[in-house]
Structure 1
Amino acid sequence: MAVNKPFGDGRRIGAVKQRSQTQTASGHWVKRNTTNGQFMNVKSDKKPFKGVRKEK
């Protein structure tokens, strides 16, 4: 039987859907749900989330 083998190390390929991120005044990055605008989580370090688009 044919099997689709795992690709790479199991990481996501491409951008995260329905998410965006913005930077707060303190320099931390906040992830936001684009469907309802609700803030989801804040990163403790001041680096942006990987694979999540930035708001303008």
Structure 2
Amino acid sequence: MAKNPPVGDGHRKGAVRDRSQTYNPKTQDWTKRDAGTGRFMDRKADDKPFKGVRKEK
């Protein structure tokens, strides 16, 4: 993960590398995926997308 001081201010400089996210309309949430392996990593609890992670089409 990128380190962007100061910690806890809620922003990052640049995108998270080797990650992508896609919206699942069936469960209505955003899922993060590792671009190298293609495995799903994490799911958002709220309806907002992950910050700094590119979106798949």
TM-score band w.r.t. shorter chain: 0.7 to 0.9
User: Offset of 1:38 from its aligned partner?
Assistant: 0.4
Q: Structure 2: state its 5+ residue gaps.
A: none
Root mean square deviation of aligned Cα: 1.6
Q: Structure 1: state its 5+ residue gaps.
A: 1-6
Q: Which has the larger radius of gyration?
A: 1
What TM-score results when the alignment is normalised by the length of structure 1? 0.78
Matched residue count = 50
What TM-score results when the alignment is normalised by the length of structure 2? 0.77
Question: Match of 1:19?
Answer: 19
Over the matched positions of the two proteins, sequence identity in percent amounts to 52
